[in-house]
């Protein structure tokens, strides 16, 4: 289970609202029925009175048999259902109505999370990942290797664009499959439009579906959030900062597109270093070369990346241009 305390509290507040709505709706039904069918109000009073009398008898050491009481309640309940049907109401009109009948809108069954709670977790994590819409289109199922050419050769590694894409895809799938058991980070780099961001979306989709908390930010958004956390006074700024620290996976997209200064350089190191110490995974995508990363973000930041991140390089023609040409 990967939710933060605040995320868990948000879901529990949702369940409290569900229970309150159910309670209010049931009260409205009782008020309506008691006005239209006074006999049902009388029946409920009789059932309540019979229960009180039976409890008194048990406390005073009277007859322990409850068969007569059960028969009496059963007859009264049957009359109640008959009256409801006769007036055009469903027989369960005076029973609580739940969105989830399995857990009765509590979120738990025998101390374990209900399937509806797990669904609420996934929905919340999708929303807070900033990827809710795009992940429906960009995932492992829609990743296509035919955009990569065996004729495009990387001058450094002497490997083809297709070979490098296949390797990157395998590494990303492995990253997902072993995520719960091992601490790992990825730096995906290469020229523009070769699928770096797409691969991060594939990973995010799989991990969120497995109920891991994923936060996706562009580099510009990251440094804005870090600045707000550092200098802002609002509670939401502090909360967002805590999510950047505590989420299971932080995805930083397009590193190098932000306005770089001493603040961004120092904050990137602090952010990455803190997550490495806490063994919280991070994925960075960038158009920068390794030498450019070292030059822009300092030797110590590059050292942290090179020693703690798996480096994946993608090369090839701009896929976005290929898609337009194919259309």
Burial of 9 (0-12, 13-18, 19+ CB in 10 A): exposed
Spell out a b/e string for 234-256, using b for 16 or more CB atoms within 10 Å of the CB, else e: eeebeebbebbebbbbbbbbbbb
Q: Is 133 helix (H, G, I), strand (E, B) or coil?
A: coil
214 vs 318: CA distance, rounded Å = 27
Give the model's pLDDT for residue 256. 93
Region class of 201: left (phi > 0), else alpha (psi between -120 and 50), else beta? alpha
CATH number, domain 129-326, options 3.40.50.300, 3.40.30.10, 3.40.190.10, 3.90.1150.10: 3.40.50.300
Which residues fall within 8 angstroms of residue 154, CB to CB, at 6 or more apart? 160, 161, 164, 313, 315
The per-residue pLDDT string of the chain (327 residues; one tens digit each, 9 = 90 and over) reads 356 777 888 899 999 999 999 999 999 999 999 999 999 999 999 999 888 888 787 777 665 567 778 888 899 999 999 999 999 999 999 999 999 989 999 999 999 888 888 778 877 777 766 677 788 888 999 999 989 999 999 999 999 999 999 999 999 999 999 999 999 999 999 999 999 999 999 999 999 888 888 888 899 989 988 888 777 656 555 666 667 887 889 999 999 999 889 999 999 999 999 999 999 999 999 999 999 999 999 999 999 999 999 999 999 988 888 777 665
What is the rounded CA–CA span in Å between residue 151 and residue 21?
Answer: 63
Crossing angle, helix 38-59 and helix 67-86, to 10 degrees? 170
State the pLDDT at residue 1.
Answer: 39
- What are the residue boundaries of the structural domains of the chain, listed by start? 5-113, 129-326
Contact 254, 218 (CB under 8 A): yes
From CA 115, how far away is CA 12, in angstroms rounded?
A: 14
d(CA 175, CA 182): 9
33 burial type by CB count under 10 A (0-12 exposed, 13-18 middle, 19+ buried) = buried
**Cβ 260 vs Cβ 269: under 8 Å:** no
Q: Torsion over CA of 193, 195, 200 and 206, rounded to 10 degrees?
A: 140
Q: 95: number of CA atoms within 13 Å, CB side? A: 11
Which of 198, 195, 205, 303 is closest to 249 using CA atoms?
205
């Amino acid at each position: 289970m990967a939710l933060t305390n605040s995320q868990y509290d948000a879901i529990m507040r949702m369940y409290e609202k569900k229970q309150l709505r159910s309670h209010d709706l049931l009260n409205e039904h009782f008020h309506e029925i008691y006005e239209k069918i006074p006999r049902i109000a009388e029946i409920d009073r009789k059932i309540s009175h019979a229960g009180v009398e039976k409890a008194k008898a048990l406390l005073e050491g009277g007859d322990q048999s409850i068969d007569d009481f059960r028969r009496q309640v059963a007859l009264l309940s049957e009359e109640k259902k008959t009256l409801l049907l006769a007036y055009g109401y469903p027989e369960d009109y005076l029973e609580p109505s739940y969105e989830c009948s399995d857990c009765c809108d509590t979120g738990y069954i025998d101390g374990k999370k209900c399937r509806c709670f797990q669904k609420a977790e996934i929905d919340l994590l999708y929303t807070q990942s900033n990827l809710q819409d795009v992940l429906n289109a960009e995932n492992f199922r829609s990743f296509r290797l035919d955009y990569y050419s065996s004729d495009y050769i990387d001058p450094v590694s002497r490997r083809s664009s297709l070979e490098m894409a296949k390797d990157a895809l395998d590494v990303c799938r492995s990253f997902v499959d072993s995520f719960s058991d091992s601490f790992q980070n990825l730096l995906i780099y290469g020229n523009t439009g070769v699928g770096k961001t797409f691969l991060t979306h594939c990973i995010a989709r799989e991990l969120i579906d497995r109920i891991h908390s994923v936060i996706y930010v562009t580099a510009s958004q990251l440094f804005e959030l870090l600045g707000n956390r550092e200098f802002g006074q609002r509670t939401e700024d502090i909360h967002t900062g805590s999510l950047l620290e505590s989420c299971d996976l932080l995805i930083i997209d397009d590193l190098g597109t932000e306005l770089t200064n001493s603040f961004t350089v120092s904050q990137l190191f602090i952010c990455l270093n803190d997550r490495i110490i806490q063994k919280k995974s991070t994925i960075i995508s960038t158009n920068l070369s390794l030498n450019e990363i070292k030059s822009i973000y300092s030797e110590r930041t590059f050292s942290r990346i090179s020693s703690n991140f798996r480096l994946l390089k993608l090369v090839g023609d701009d896929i976005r241009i290929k898609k337009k040409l194919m259309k």
